[in-house]
Structure 1
Amino acid sequence: MPSLQLNFLVTCCLLYPTFIRAAAPTGATIEPAATYDGGYSNAGELRLRIANGGAGQSGLIGAWANAFINYSVKELKQEPFKVGWYLGDTTQSLNFLSTGAVDIAVTYNEAAELQVLNSGAATEREYGFRDHFLLVGPKSNPAGLDPSKDDVLSMFSKIVTSGNADAAVPPTNGTAVRFLSRFDKSATNIKESQLFITIGQVPWALAYSAWYHQYPRFPLQALQAAALLDEYTLTDRGTLLSSPASVTDTVTIFKAGSDNATDPLLNPAHVLLSARADPANEAVWKAFMTWVVAADGGQKVISEFKKNGQVLFGAELSIIFDLIQRITMITMTATVEGHLFSAPRNYFAHASDIFASAFSLPSFEGNSREGTCDESPLVLEGICRADFRGLLRVMYPLHLGSYGDAKLTRVDWVSALKLSTMWNFRPIRQRAISALDHEWEPVEGITLGKAYKVPEWLSRGYHQLVARSQPITTDEAAVIGLETAVRLFHIREECKDDCGREFRVIQRMEQNFGKELEEVRAADAVYNSSRCCDEESNA
C-alpha cells in the first residue's frame, strides 16, 4: 500500500472516535461551524441559525447568509446581524430543527422532511435548489462500468458482482473493487441504500460484505477518502466541484443526475422552518423564508454561486416554470406576504368571479391595471404564501402539460384545496379532494370536511369515531369540540349492543348531525354547479 494511503488510514483511525463524538450533538446548545456577518464589522448578535451539510461545506450557506444580511440591512432597514451555519447531515439537521437548536434546516430527503412537517416539528417547507448525485470511482474502473450503456442500477449491480468476486479471490494485480459508504443516515447514505435495495442487495447486513467500506464522515472528507483509496462512492455535484484538484483529478464520474424528476440521482434540497424557531428573531426567519425562494434573492445567489468556474446548483424548478409561463401565456402578477408570483391569468379570471371582477376594473390614467405587471401586482391579503405556492404547483400541470412528473405532496394538495374552495376553482378542488381521499385520520377528516365542505370526509370521520373499538381520546375531543364528542359518545353507547348496529349508527348519525351534514352537502353542491367549466376546456 502506498505510504500516502497508509498515512491517511492511520490518521482516519486516530480521528474516528473524535468525529463520532463531534458529529452527533443534540439539544439546543450546539455551536455553529461558521458564522457570517455580511461584511459588516459592527454586526450584532446571531439572529438566524441554519443547519446543513454539503451545501454548507461548499460555501452556499455562507453565500446565502451574507447576501441575506445585506438584503436585510439595505431593504428591510435592519441593523447588521450574524447568521450561523450548523454542520449536520440530513438526519442530524432535521433533529436540530425538531429540538429548536436551529431555526432553519436545508435537507435532501423528501420522506424525512414530510414526516417532520406532518409531525408539526416544521411549519413550512420550500424547494430551495437542485443538486445532483454522482456515482464516481477510480480511473482504473475495476468494476468495468460503461457510462454509454449502463444505467445507475446496472452500475451498482456490477459493483456488487465484482466486489464479491474480488473479496473471494483478491486480484493479483490491479485494484480490488470496493464501495465507500458514508453510513451516517445522511441523504447520500439513504440514496445509496435505496439503490442497493432496488437491486436486491443489502451489503451492510450480516454477513457483512467485505468490499462495502463504512466511512461515516461528511461529504468532502468521504470523497477525499474514496479518491485516495481508489473506491467507488456516491457523492454530489456540489461536493465534487468544491473539492481540490488532488481529489477531482483522481476520480471519474460514471453517472450524473439530471433534472428529470424521475431520475433517482436528482438531489433536490428543501428549506424547512422549525416550529420552535427562536421567537425573538421571528422577523428575521420569516423574511429569510420569503427571500430564499425569491428570483432576485436566494435563487439569484444559487444561479451565480460557482466553484472552479462552474455553477454548483440549480435554481428552484418553479422559477424556470415561471419563465416558461411568462413566454407561453397571458399572466397575472400577484403579491402574497410580500412575495411576487406570476400565474395563468385566463384561468383565474374564467374560473372565479372574484378574479374576473378584479381584472375588469378600469385602470387610472398613467397607471397599469392591477395584476398586469410586476410594478402593479394584485395584492392577495390574508393568504399564506406556502398555500399559494401549493395551489400553483397543482395548477401548472393543468396548463403547461407534464414537466417531469412533478411530485405533489399532501401539503401541496391541502393548500390547493383550501384556496380552490375559497376562490371556487372547481377542477382543482375536485382533483385535490380525489388526491387526498382516504388519507385522513377521523379527526382530520372531520376538521377538513367542515372547513372545505367535503361531506364524505365529515360523515366518514364521524362514523369512524363511532364504529371503532377504542374510545374518543381527550385530544380528539379537544379538536372536534366537547359537544360533538359527547354526542358521538352517546351514539357509541346506544349502538354498541344493537344487532342491527350499522343501520342504527347511520340512523342516529342523521338524527344528531343531519343538519350539519346537509349544510355541508349544500355548500359542496354549489361548488359542483359553479360557473367554472371543466379543466380541459379551461386549459
Structure 2
Amino acid sequence: MLNLKKHLGLSGILLGFLSTLLMTVSAPALAQQVIRLSTTTSTENSGLLQYLLPKFEARANAKVNVIAVGTGKALELAKNGDVDVTLVHARTLEDKFVAEGHGVNRRDVMYNDFIIVGPESDPAGVKGSRDVIAAMKKIAASGSKFISRGDNSGTDVMEKGYWKQVGTQPHGSAYVSAGLGMGEVLNMAAELRAYTLTDRATYIAYRAKTGLQIAVEGDAKMFNPYGIIAVNPEKAKGLNYKGAMQLVEWITSDEGQKLIGAFKVEGQQVFFPSYKAAQ
C-alpha cells in the first residue's frame, strides 16, 4: 500500500511536469508577434527589406508587415498609430515628427546618395556634372522634361528643395508631378525620355529595364541618410512598442549593420551602415 502511494505520488509529479511542459510550449507567449513597419519605396524597390527582414523575423519570432510609401505618408501612418515603427529618409520631417512627440528613440541606420538620371541623349547637356543646382538650372532652361515623385516622399522633399535653390523649375508639360513611387517614376522617365531625381539603390535595381543613364552625381548636397523611429506608445493605443524596439535595436546592431553593408544590387553596394559612425 505504501509502495502504491509512492508510485502514485511519483506518477502525479511526472504528469504534472508533462502538463506544465505542454502548456509552456503552447503558451501564447510563443506565438509569432506582428510588427507593423512603414517605410519608403526605396527600401522596398531595391530589395533591401526582402533581404533583411527574414533574418530579423527568425531571430525575433516575428512577422513584419511592411507598408512601402513615400516618407511623408510613412510618417503620417506612424503619427496615426497605424504602424509600430517607421524607416524613412527625410531628416527635417523626421526631426519634426520626434519633436512633436509622435516618435521616440530615432537612430541613424544607413545612407546612400541621390542622383539625377535621364535619357542617353542627354538633351540638357548635364551628363558628368557634380553640381546638382547648376545641372537642374540647365534642365529647366533647356525645356527638357522632368518627372517629379510629387508624393511628399524624402526624394520629393529633396527635389523641391533643389528647385527652390535654383529659383525656377520646368514649366507646363515639361514638369510632370507623378504622385508615384520611385520605381514607377523611373519607368515613366524612361518612357518619356525625361530626367528625374532618384536614390541610387532603386536606380540600380531598375537600370537594366529603363536604360536611363546617370547624369549628375557626387554633389555633397545629394547625401541621403535613413533613420528608424519607434512610434511613441503614449500617443496611440495597441502599439507593439516592444517589437518596434526589437527591430530598432537589431537593425542598428553589429549584425544588422553588417548585413546592410553586405547587401548588393547587381554586385554593387547600395546602402552604407551609419549607426556606429554616428555614436
TM category, shorter: 0.7 to 0.9
**Retained in 2: the 8 A contact 1:157–1:199?**
yes
What TM-score comes out, normalization by structure 1 length? 0.44
Deviations 1:9-36 (A, max 9, x none): xxxxxxxxxxxxxxxxxxxxxxxxxxxx
* Structure 1 residue matching 2:110: 3-state secondary structure: strand
Partner in structure 2 of residue 194 of structure 1: 161
Partner in structure 1 of residue 265 of structure 2: 307
Write the mapping of 1:72-221 to structure 2, written as runs, cut at 5 A. Answer: 72=60, 80-147=61-128, 151-163=131-143, 177-203=144-170, 208-221=171-184
Write the mapping of 1:21-420 to structure 2, written as runs, cut at 5 A. Answer: 44-52=31-39, 53-72=41-60, 80-147=61-128, 151-163=131-143, 177-203=144-170, 208-243=171-206, 245-247=208-210, 250-257=211-218, 263-276=220-233, 281-296=240-255, 298-316=256-274, 318-319=275-276, 321=277, 392=279
Cα separation, partners in 2 of 1:294 and 1:231, compared to 1, 3 Å: same
Give aligned pairs, total: 247
Give the Cα–Cα distance (whole angstroms) in 1 for the partners of residues 152 and 241 of structure 2: 30
Cα separation, partners in 2 of 1:280 and 1:145, compared to 1, 3 Å: closer
Give the Cα–Cα distance (whole angstroms) in 2 for the partners of residues 245 and 202 of structure 1: 29
Give the Cα–Cα distance (whole angstroms) in 2 for the partners of residues 244 and 151 of structure 1: 22
**Retained in 1: the 8 A contact 2:137–2:169?**
no
Aligned-CA RMSD value = 2.0
Partner AA of 2:74 in structure 1: S
Give the Cα–Cα distance (whole angstroms) in 2 for the partners of residues 97 and 218 of structure 1: 19
Q: CA deviation at 1:251?
A: 1.3
**Retained in 1: the 8 A contact 2:33–2:243?**
no
Q: CA deviation at 1:156?
A: 0.5
Give the Cα–Cα distance (whole angstroms) in 2 for the partners of residues 100 and 83 of structure 1: 16
* Structure 1 residue matching 2:254: 3-state secondary structure: coil
**Retained in 2: the 8 A contact 1:49–1:84?**
yes
Deviations 1:71-97 (A, max 9, x none): 22xxxxxxx331111121100000011
Give the Cα–Cα distance (whole angstroms) in 1 for the partners of residues 78 and 131 of structure 2: 36
Structure with the bigger percentage of strand: 2
Deviations 1:34-70 (A, max 9, x none): xxxxxxxxx9555211111210222222323211122
Q: CA deviation at 1:209?
A: 3.0
Give the Cα–Cα distance (whole angstroms) in 2 for the partners of residues 199 and 245 of structure 1: 31
Q: CA deviation at 1:131?
A: 2.1
Q: CA deviation at 1:210?
A: 2.8
Q: CA deviation at 1:109?
A: 0.9
**Retained in 1: the 8 A contact 2:114–2:222?**
yes
Give the Cα–Cα distance (whole angstroms) in 2 for the partners of residues 244 and 162 of structure 1: 24
* Structure 2 residue matching 1:71: 3-state secondary structure: helix
Give the Cα–Cα distance (whole angstroms) in 2 for the partners of residues 226 and 237 of structure 1: 15
**Larger radius of gyration between Structure 1 and Structure 2:** 1
Cα separation, partners in 2 of 1:300 and 1:69, compared to 1, 3 Å: same
Q: CA deviation at 1:191?
A: 0.9
What TM-score comes out, normalization by structure 2 length? 0.82
Partner AA of 1:305 in structure 2: F
Cα separation, partners in 2 of 1:306 and 1:218, compared to 1, 3 Å: same
Larger RCO, structure (CA 8 Å, separation 6 or more): 2
Give the Cα–Cα distance (whole angstroms) in 2 for the partners of residues 280 and 179 of structure 1: 40
* Structure 1 residue matching 2:172: 3-state secondary structure: coil
The answer for unaligned runs of 5 or more in structure 1 is 1-42, 73-79, 164-176, 322-388, 393-539
Q: CA deviation at 1:280?
A: 6.5
Partner in structure 1 of residue 14 of structure 2: none
* Structure 2 residue matching 1:269: 3-state secondary structure: strand
Partner AA of 2:126 in structure 1: L
**Retained in 1: the 8 A contact 2:147–2:196?**
yes
The answer for unaligned runs of 5 or more in structure 2 is 1-29
Deviations 1:209-241 (A, max 9, x none): 331112111011100110121101001111012
Runs (4 or more) in structure 1 with deviation over 6 Å come to: none
Partner AA of 1:160 in structure 2: A
Partner in structure 1 of residue 13 of structure 2: none
Partner in structure 2 of residue 333 of structure 1: none
Cα separation, partners in 2 of 1:257 and 1:48, compared to 1, 3 Å: farther
* Structure 2 residue matching 1:264: 3-state secondary structure: helix
**Retained in 2: the 8 A contact 1:183–1:215?**
yes
